[in-house]
């Protein structure tokens, strides 16, 4: 309260003692960006699966405000939950109980952009698409792209170490983030907004916060290297008879298109059917391919359109000749490029429209990537949770898979009529046991959050977890930063 009262001339102190009327409260809270009314959207995640009970949302405007808030919360042992665009898929961005939400949306300035190096420095609350548009107007692009770009924030992307659609080409944020400004739990500001590609002076502290999911501090500023926008973009969609041929196409694409390949995504036909069912504006560019169990979307980013198109056509010819695909379509023009991407990027939304969704974001060796979906489907059938021929009595509606083949990352989605412990008990910990047995990771790109915090040992050894806990204790000894999730 003392910190807040410092901002508003002592009025908030009175407010806490309930001595002002609602009108005053509304105006004071409004000025501070403290929203007391209608907190629903801050308390529910994108999937409507995780619900918090926060009664206070703070929306700071500067790093100093973040620092003062954390200093105060730390001294009073008040737990906080950092929140960006609230598009996370593991319940990390909403409170578990009544943690104070610190939402970064008002810190949305682009601080600088260097047109020589392509380094952008911005506030953590800048929406990814806005950053991409800003650098796009200057001939650059964000190294990261994902379906939630219109809502997620760069600070949220960094805090989840989001992978996205082009990691295959432009690498992970561990490589493209050059510096961070972070506020620690006690209010200390770590200013490391370096714009240097190379900086080997001591430990690279920023790496700790990339993927920390708000457990170590609040990211307030970001320095990120953006690549040049390509002169030529090509996108093809292939209908593929089986998973083995998805991998054959990947191998073939790497040998034909290696230096220009920018994305290699796949989805099963069930995913496509859901998109066509729920997102009415989209059409299948490859009609009459119902026999194909899979679809591959591949993209090239290059510097010479004719050269790239010739190469991609040669790849398509080779794939058809070897019968690795039954049909293929090369997008003609920007509109078709967008339409094909819209199918792939629309899958999460379409799944959400089907009902409750259980999402598993798993890394596995490529050879066993899709088998995850098959074994889980079989398990659900054996447990009589999924009755494919008895829709009325089946708890599960669909089991489907899609994802980033190029990164060895599958998204297993199980849609159900509603969230139900019988479904959950059939899937977990089975899915994590399968992942561990096959040398995978239980969190490829979405993080652990409240969903997977307790399963961390399926992917990390006791020794590693101990070191993580020691780091957490060092930076956040009172445990106020995003508690009840992982490293609890
Ligand atoms: P939030 O959801 O608000 O928060 C996510 C986590 O980061 C929370 O733990 C939160 O506490 C923490 N956090 C947020 N901001 C800060 C900050 N400034 N400082 C410290 N901690 C913070 N993920 C991928 O990896 N690849 C994809 O392709 C992808 N596609 C998606 C498509 C859709 C349609 C949706 C809904 C989600 C997708 N995601 C994807 C998941 C999600 O991780 C990303 O959308 C994004 O990185 C989350 O950013 P956000 O700003 O919404 O963060
Ligand atoms: C994706 O690749 O589409 C995202 O990670 C979101 C999801 O898994 O649904
Ligand atoms: Zn993904």
The residues spanned by each domain of the chain are 3-103, 110-225, 232-347, 355-446
- Over residues 359-386, the pLDDT tens digits come to 999 999 999 999 999 999 999 999 999 9
Give this prediction's pTM: 0.94
What does the pLDDT read at residue 379?
98
What does the pLDDT read at residue 290?
80
110-225 folds as: 3.30.465
Measured by CA distance, the residue closest to atom 1 of ligand 2 is 403
Measured CA to CA, the distance from residue 459 to residue 471 in angstroms comes to 18
- 3-103 carries CATH number 3.30.43.10: yes
What number does the ligand 2 atom closest to the CA of 409 have? 2
User: Which of 52, 159, 165 most suits a substitution to test ligand 1, by most atoms within 8 Å of the C-beta?
Assistant: 159
Same fold, 3-103 and 355-446: no
What does the pLDDT read at residue 28?
46
Q: Could you tell me the distance, in angstroms and rounded to a whole number, from the CA of residue 70 to the centre of ligand 3?
A: 32
DSSP assignment of 354-369 equals HSEEEEEEEE--GGGT
Please, what sign has the CA dihedral across residues 202, 206, 207, 213? positive
- 355-446 carries CATH number 3.30.70.2740: yes
What is the second-level CATH architecture of the domain 232-347?
A: 2-Layer Sandwich (3.30)
Contacts of 397 (CB under 8 A, 6+ apart): 354, 355, 391, 415, 416, 417
What does the pLDDT read at residue 33?
54
Pairing, β 100-103 against β 80-83: parallel
Measured CA to CA, the distance from residue 313 to residue 325 in angstroms comes to 14
Q: How many CA atoms lie within 13 A of 112 on its CB side?
A: 8
DSSP reduced 3-state for 437: helix
ipTM: 0.99
What number does the ligand 2 atom closest to the CA of 163 have? 5
What does the pLDDT read at residue 31?
52
What does the pLDDT read at residue 14?
30
Point out the residues of the chain with pLDDT beneath 70: 1-37
What number does the ligand 1 atom closest to the CA of 158 have? 47
């Amino acid at each position: 309260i003392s910190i807040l009262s410092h901002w508003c001339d002592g009025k908030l102190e009175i407010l806490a003692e309930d001595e002002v009327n609602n009108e005053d409260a509304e105006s004071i809270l409004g000025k501070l960006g403290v929203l007391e009314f209608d907190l629903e959207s801050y308390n529910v995640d994108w999937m409507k699966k995780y619900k918090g009970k926060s009664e206070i949302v703070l929306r700071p405007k500067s790093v100093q405000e973040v620092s003062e808030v954390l200093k105060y919360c730390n001294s009073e042992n008040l737990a906080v939950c950092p929140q960006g665009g609230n598009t996370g898929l593991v319940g990390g961005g909403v409170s578990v109980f009544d943690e104070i939400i610190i939402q970064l949306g008002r810190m949305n300035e682009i601080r600088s952009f260097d047109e020589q190096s392509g380094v952008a420095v911005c506030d953590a609350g800048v929406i990814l698409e806005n950053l991409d548009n800003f650098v796009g107007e200057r001939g650059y692009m964000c190294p990261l792209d994902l379906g939630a770009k219109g809502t997620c924030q760069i600070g949220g992307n960094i805090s989840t170490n989001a992978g996205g659609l082009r990691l295959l080409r432009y690498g992970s944020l561990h490589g493209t983030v050059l510096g961070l400004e972070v506020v620690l739990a006690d209010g200390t500001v770590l200013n490391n907004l370096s714009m240097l590609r190379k900086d080997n002076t001591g430990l690279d502290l920023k790496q700790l916060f990339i993927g920390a999911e708000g457990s170590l501090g609040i990211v307030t500023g970001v320095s990120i290297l953006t690549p040049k926008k390509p002169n030529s973009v090509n996108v093809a969609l292939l209908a593929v008879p089986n998973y083995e041929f998805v991998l054959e196409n990947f191998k073939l694409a790497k040998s034909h298109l290696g230096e220009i390949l920018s994305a290699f995504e796949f989805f099963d036909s069930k995913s496509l059917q859901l998109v066509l069912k729920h997102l009415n504006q989209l059409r299948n560019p490859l009609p009459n391919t119902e026999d194909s169990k899979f679809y591959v979307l591949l993209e090239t980013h290059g510097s010479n359109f004719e050269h790239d198109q010739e190469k991609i056509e040669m790849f398509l010819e080779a794939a058809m000749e070897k019968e690795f695909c039954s049909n293929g379509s090369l997008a003609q023009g920007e509109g078709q490029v967008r339409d094909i991407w819209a199918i792939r990027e629309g899958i999460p939304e379409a799944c959400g429209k089907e009902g409750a969704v259980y999402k598993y974001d798993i890394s596995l060796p490529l050879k066993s990537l899709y088998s995850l979906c098959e074994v889980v489907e079989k398990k659900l059938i054996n447990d009589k949770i999924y009755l494919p021929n008895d829709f009325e009595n089946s708890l599960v509606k669909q089991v489907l898979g899609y994802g980033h083949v190029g990164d060895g990352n599958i998204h297993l989605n199980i849609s159900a009529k509603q969230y139900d412990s019988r479904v959950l008990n059939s899937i977990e910990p089975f899915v994590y046991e399968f992942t561990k047995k096959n040398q995978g990771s239980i969190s490829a790109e979405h993080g652990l959050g409240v969903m997977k915090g307790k399963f961390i040992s399926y992917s990390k050894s006791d020794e590693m977890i101990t070191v993580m806990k020691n780091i957490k204790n060092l930076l956040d000894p009172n445990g106020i930063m995003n508690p009840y999730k992982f490293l609890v």
